[in-house]
Amino acid sequence: MTDNNKSSEPQPKPDSGQTLIDELNKTMDGGVWQNSLRSALYPILAVFTGLVIGGIFIALTTEEVYAAFRESIFAGLGESWRTIAVAYRALFVGAIGNPAEIAAAIGAADWVAFQDAIDPFLESLVTSTPLIFAGLGVALGFRTGLFNIGAEGQLFIGATTATWVGYTFTGLPAIIHIPLALLAGFIGGGLWGYIPGWLKAKTGGHEVINTIMMNFIAIRLVEWLLRTRMQDPESQNPISPFIADSAFLPSLPFSRFHIGFFIALIFAWLTWWYLFRTKWGFTLRTVGTNPNAARYAGMNIVRATVTAMFLSGGLAGLAGANEILGLNHRLVASFTSGIGFDSIALALLGKNHPVGVVLAAILFGTLRNGATQMQLDAGIPIDIISIVQALVLAFIAAPAIVRTIYRLRDTGDDGQLVTNSWG
Amino acid sequence: MSEKPVLELKGITKRFPGVLANDHIDLTLGKGEVHALLGENGAGKSTLMNILYGLYQPTEGEIFVNGEKVQIDSPSDSIAAGIGMVHQHFMLIPVFTVTENVMLGEEEVSAGGFLKRREAAKKITELSNRFGLDVDPNALVGDLPVGVQQRVEIIKLLYRDANILIFDEPTAVLTPQEADSLFEIMQLLIDQGKSIIFITHKLREVLDYADRITVIRRGKVIGSTVPAEADPAKLAEMMVGRAVDLDVDRNPPQVGEVVLSVKDLLVVDDQEQAAVDHVSFELHAGEILGVAGIQGNGQTELVEAITGMGKVDGGTITLLGQPVQNKPPRFITELGSAHIPEDRQRDGVVADFPIVDNLALQSYYMEPFSKGVIMQEDVMRENATKLVEQFDVRTPTIDTSVGSLSGGNQQKVIVAREFTRDIKFLVAAQPTRGIDVGSIEYIHGQIVEKRDAGVAVLLVSTELDEVMQLSDRIAVMFDGRVTAMVDARQVTKEQVGLLMAGTTAEELFGKGETQND
Amino acid sequence: MTASTLNTATTQPPTFRNYFNRQRILGIVFLLLAFGIWYIFAQGLGDIAESKEIDVSEVITTFKLPLSSQPGDLFNWELSSSPVLTVLAMAAAFLGGVQLWRGFGRYANWVLAIVIGLFIFAFLTWGAAGKSLNLGGLLSATLVRAVPITLGAMSGILSERAGIVNIAIEGMMLTGAMVGVFAGSIAKLWLPDSVFAGMLEEKGLLILGLCFGLVCAMLAGMLLSAVHAVLSIRYKINQIVSGTVINIFAVGFTSYLSARFLQKYQEYNNPGTFRPFELPILSDIPILGPIFFRHNIFVYSMFIIIIVLHIALYYTRWGLRLRSVGEHPKAADTLGINVIRTRWMAVLLSGAMAGFAGGYFTLGSVPRFDEGLTAGRGFIGLAAMIFGNWNPIGSFGASILFGFTDALQTKLAILKLPIPSEFLLMIPYIATMVILAGVVGKGQMPAADGQPYDKE
């Protein structure tokens, strides 16, 4: 390419992933939430704005609203308000339960009623769990300057390897079987990230395209496995056998809530510790922020790239393993989730910081879960959440939009380069 | 100079956030004149020219072309006004042919917008012949040597009938031969009625080729003169703001044993040219070996080879008894070497990381910064607090990101990090490029101090003064080779300058006295 | 897509690279393919012969080819499998040898296409040995399957040649598909009662409605690409993030509207489709006519678009400026070219193209919208673009390859191959990764692809 023309193009070509990291890491220097209120301001405004626009969108796509507008403008506005209110109320109740019911259950000390009342909340956490894992994976990649857009495929492979361990090894105690299955999920997803990582490090093949290709390959591979090696002998369909009971993640007796959520939190802490407290994490972050300086400082960029992609894929693989061990207990060919792209939004919303990612994942898991109720109560398709999510991501990526809307002052901390020489 | 000037700038001011890059600059260019704009790096020369070329808009000021006021909001306006510019970093597209590069933006097309390449190529050949440029219109620009690429840039201006030509540091990337032929071309251009503004920081070129000289410092015009009346010392003083007498107090060297030995080193660049061409030298403990040379004569590749950041294609490098050619940077660092990199922003610091992290960049993985795999933040902070104090880094806090510091302070961070490790060998590449005078003095002092403590120092600089002041011995690099190795006390600045310009040691000193080694 | 390393610092062993340059690697690849033809396919005939209890030389491959546009008018092309495979292997080996020995220079890409063609033909000869295969149908289907991929690749070329990475083609296609259905259905419902009813007969009305749907599909793609332009040009956010925003949005938006309206009111989800029509004279050519000239408007448009885009990119002022902006925007700026405006135009055209590709799904294939019906074709289009070196004709070749595996999927049951079909279907993806790894030479990616343009 332009290599043979150094003189006219002296700047090293910044990679898109690289520029992104430059843009993002500027605000957060890791470690602590410096001035947490300010760093949370933009995400909060972004989510709020996203929900407002989502509400307007709901009103715009409701026939009753148009009917009301035909009567009068006030009727129309009233109907719009009513539609949005109904929808978001259903969303809220579906997401975290009806506060009145919860209070009543506590007041009456009615254990069964309490279980029912908080079930939506627990269900939200269940929905959030894979998002946490996958979001952490993508964030770890971003920190190293890598754009892992293939969480979907890594998740799929992780689910497959975890399933295989889940039904192949029987008679193990749960305390061994569960970690083993999780490890299998981690390694499976990790390998699926390792390949594009290796290609990136050794040949420069861009990880965005390669991870997308790996997604397609994963789908074909698992289709084949479920048709042959991993097919449940008692089924005609491409479906795996059930995993052994010993590999089930323990769950609450009255809910689908399982310990996967806590495992996700543990991994969030591990990711944070790894990135900000170990020398390995320091290496990764340096490579992600300035690969030239990393090389100058004697860091092994190939190893860092490969490691980061392996860990990133591994975390996504855990998301898949978590779903199998905690909820589905078997693998079906249609096991897709759309988590792959969502996790990019989560990583960016959480500013690539594990704490931020956990909060973002819980937020979107909650919204997504609440939307199921909204679909039942108000007939609003659950996909509204994807729309909101896209809007939030846009606002996070381009803080200038949020600034324009809310007339905020530009504090100059969203990626303006400071250069010194004007000569 | 009786006719009215072809170009006149009045009170041009450009304010960037926090920087006053141009401060009420006045400048006139007469017809057929070569007007040199002299100034240090960062003095505001390029900013001024970018304003003239429409890439920046001035905060204040007016521009007159042939006596008429013009409003230049974009390069198109500038081109329309007959102004053309050869940029320091060429504005050429490597995968396009010469013709495509030249015609871009000024395409001749037939009906339907189809390019008339053949007509354009013909015109280019004509221009090329008329001005002795010798450019093949059908060649891919990426395949051409730098000197020819520059001629393509000149053709771009001529193709647009530009009468005012701006050359921004045109010789920075050229070999002396290429530079000479450039000046011949410039003379031809003048003969054909063009006028030239010529930006540089090299005194010799200004004195030899300019009709008039304007010196700029810190965004202000310091003065104007003609070569006949100028003397180099005075010009240099105008440029840097005080008598250039930066002599560093230092004792004679206490030379110890050989620390670095380079034998027959060969580095081949992307274009399969020998960037470092069979270079050999030895460096002893307690001495400073200065490598002088014009930018692009292989110094960068030499440093990269020695520090492990670039490949070695032949020969050996022995550092402290160990062969280090093609060894990873960390191996070389751990032997006890320190490196002030040429491109501070790119290699030396992680601009987005706080000072604390940057000060630990070379040894973060070792005790005391890491115990096992866990980084010791307390130790790092303590270290940072100490070094910021000791090396006088001007910063609000140690958590400030290095990118927000001034160039001089960034360099101090690097020096602090490199010099406080236990080192026996130091490579300082362009250690004072683009930083303030106070920091320069400080860093020079630090380097000499290291030498006196017995460290072997390889100083690579394109600033001749710096090499002269600090070095005990001077190796001159020209076209990838070390063309002379001289004792710094026994040569004059002029002699080294001639060597840098390609004069051989034999020509200069006669046979037998070339090597003091 | 930025194919250069993130870590510019990564060093590669120079000697290896220097020795195994593109010429030699391509030669080795050709020889490997030749060996594959001989070892896997020609030798594989033995098993087939054994199972039929005949001699290898008696194995016959029958390809059915169309003689005229009459559906049943097929011609049985019977080939003696073994000698054909031997000849194919020798031809590939010869080309490989010449490539190794002195190279084909600038024709290397064409030779590569020929060798891949030989390999595929050998594969089919072997796969259909002892059976018969409707080759005409397969090729015709390949062409049809290649349409959305090619159009997606063209969409990518338009924007990436101007330096804007567009991974949102998938989302734009999806949106185009849905909007196309919706607008087309509305037009279909409305047109019979409108003034046009008097002017056109029924068929004309249908086509008019479909065209309206197609235009709306393109506008929808354009609207989304305008968002991409705002985010990545105006606000300079990372172009992959911006593309991701649009993809997430498009999936949500189309699924939402589909669930809320299209499922409920099926009459808004049924625009009809563009019917295939025969090009006069051309369609009468035996074999070629029925394969190439019996399609609907999308296939013909595809050919026109490829040619027009190729000429426009390389032979016009428009193309020169577009490419300059993608290679070195600052240089273009210094020559008075408006970088921002050029990039905007390129991105909008890219969106319109993606919307057009989306229209294929619902107006040219199956006349209804279902969630996620594009099934990743936009991403495959991107892969084809890289495969084809950001060049319209090369990308079309790559799309044909992708379309072929797609079409083959439906024929696999007939062929009963000893390789699991899933692995065959993986080949294009793996091939893309191999290409991206630079094994057969690095592509000429636009140098400023993915970089926002900052004036100062």
Distance, CA of B149 to CA of B94 (rounded, Å): 10
Helix (H) or strand (E) holding A56: helix A36-60
Q: Which segments of C37-168 does DSSP mark as H helices, in order?
A: 43-52, 81-101, 108-127, 135-160
* A416: pLDDT strictly greater than 50: no
Nearest Cα of chain A lies from the Cα of C414 at a distance, in angstroms, of: 18
Q: What is the pLDDT of residue A317?
A: 95
Q: Which domains does chain B have, with CATH numbers?
A: 7-240 (3.40.50.300), 258-336+422-509 (3.40.50.300)
* Chain B, chain C: beta-carbon pairs less than 8 Å apart: 75
Q: What is the pLDDT of residue C14?
A: 43
Distance, CA of C359 to CA of C155 (rounded, Å): 14
Chain B residues within 8 A of C327 when measuring between CB atoms: 93-96
- The residue of chain A with its CA nearest to that of C421 is A224
B94–A9 C-beta distance less than 8 A = yes
Nearest Cα of chain C lies from the Cα of A342 at a distance, in angstroms, of: 7
Q: What is the pLDDT of residue A422?
A: 21
Distance, CA of C209 to CA of A73 (rounded, Å): 33
Distance, CA of C147 to CA of C356 (rounded, Å): 10
Q: What is the pLDDT of residues C90-101, one digit of tens each?
A: 999 999 888 888
Q: What is the pLDDT of residues B364-396, one digit of tens each?
A: 998 889 888 899 999 999 999 999 998 888 888
Q: Which residue ranges of chain B lie beneath pLDDT 50?
A: 1-2, 243-244, 512-517
Chain C residues within 8 A of B76 when measuring between CB atoms: 336
Q: What is the pLDDT of residues A96-107, one digit of tens each?
A: 888 888 888 888
Distance, CA of C322 to CA of C163 (rounded, Å): 9
Q: What is the pLDDT of residues A112-170, one digit of tens each?
A: 888 888 889 999 999 999 999 999 999 999 999 898 989 999 999 999 999 999 999 98
- Average pLDDT (C139-165) is 94
Q: A13 and chain B: CB distance < 8 Å anywhere? A: no
Domain boundaries, chain C: 20-133, 145-386
Distance, CA of B413 to CA of B194 (rounded, Å): 47
Q: What is the pLDDT of residues C328-375, one digit of tens each?
A: 999 999 898 999 999 999 999 999 999 999 999 999 888 888 888 888
Domain boundaries, chain A: 41-109+366-408, 125-352
What percentage of chain C has pLDDT greater than the value 70?
92
Give the best residue of A23, A63, A212, A303 to mutate against chain C (max C CB count within 10 A).
Answer: A212
Comparing CB atoms, the residue among A214, A216, A221 nearest residue C376 is A216
- Average pLDDT (A249-262) is 91
Q: What is the pLDDT of residue B217?
A: 81
Q: What is the pLDDT of residue B240?
A: 63
Q: C132 forms bridges with which residues in the sheet?
A: C62
Q: Which position has the token pair 């105690």?
A: A173
C335–B106 C-beta distance less than 8 A = yes
- ipTM metric: 0.83
Distance, CA of A258 to CA of A249 (rounded, Å): 6
Chain B residues within 8 A of C14 when measuring between CB atoms: 268, 311, 313
B94–C317 C-beta distance less than 8 A = no
- Average pLDDT (A195-208) is 87
- The residue of chain A with its CA nearest to that of C259 is A381
| Backbone angles phi and psi of B136, in degrees to 5 | -85, 115
For residue B135, what are its two tokens? Answer: 């450019």
**How many other C-beta atoms are found inside a 10 Å radius of the C-beta of residue C187?**
23
Q: C456 and chain A: CB distance < 8 Å anywhere? A: no
Q: What is the pLDDT of residue A178?
A: 94
* A338: pLDDT strictly greater than 60: yes
Comparing CB atoms, the residue among A19, A224, A342 nearest residue C238 is A19
Helix (H) or strand (E) holding B27: strand B19-29
Q: What is the pLDDT of residue C321?
A: 95
Instruction: Return the SS3 of C396.
Output: helix
- The residue of chain C with its CA nearest to that of B328 is C11
Q: A9 and chain C: CB distance < 8 Å anywhere? A: yes
Collect all residues with Cβ–Cβ distance below 8 Å to B46 and sequence separation of at least 6.
A422, A423, B88, B168, B169, B199
* C4: pLDDT strictly greater than 50: no
Q: What is the pLDDT of residues C23-71, one digit of tens each?
A: 788 888 889 989 988 888 888 888 878 887 888 788 888 888 887 767 6
- Please answer whether residues C453 and C403 qualify as being in contact, where contact means their C-beta atoms are separated by less than 8 angstroms: no
Q: B18 and chain C: CB distance < 8 Å anywhere? A: no
Chain B residues within 8 A of A292 when measuring between CB atoms: 343, 346-347
Instruction: Return the SS3 of C413.
Output: helix
Chain C residues within 8 A of A139 when measuring between CB atoms: none
The pLDDT confidence band at residue A171, using thresholds 50, 70 and 90, is confident
Q: What is the pLDDT of residues A10-58, one digit of tens each?
A: 333 334 344 444 444 444 444 344 456 667 788 888 899 999 999 999 9
- The residue of chain A with its CA nearest to that of B331 is A298
For residue C226, what are its two tokens? Answer: 């305008």
Q: Which position has the token pair 């000698």?
A: C83
- Please answer whether residues C414 and C182 qualify as being in contact, where contact means their C-beta atoms are separated by less than 8 angstroms: no
Q: C433 and chain B: CB distance < 8 Å anywhere? A: no
Collect all residues with Cβ–Cβ distance below 8 Å to C45 and sequence separation of at least 6.
C56, C59, C81, C82, C85, C126, C129
- Please answer whether residues B89 and A7 qualify as being in contact, where contact means their C-beta atoms are separated by less than 8 angstroms: yes
- Average pLDDT (C208-221) is 93
C5–A16 C-beta distance less than 8 A = no
Q: What is the pLDDT of residue B3?
A: 66
C436–A199 C-beta distance less than 8 A = yes
Chain C residues within 8 A of B85 when measuring between CB atoms: 334
Q: What is the pLDDT of residues A288-301, one digit of tens each?
A: 999 999 999 999 99
- Mean pLDDT, chain C, integer: 85
Whole-prediction pTM: 0.85
Q: A8 and chain B: CB distance < 8 Å anywhere? A: yes
Instruction: Return the SS3 of C105.
Output: helix
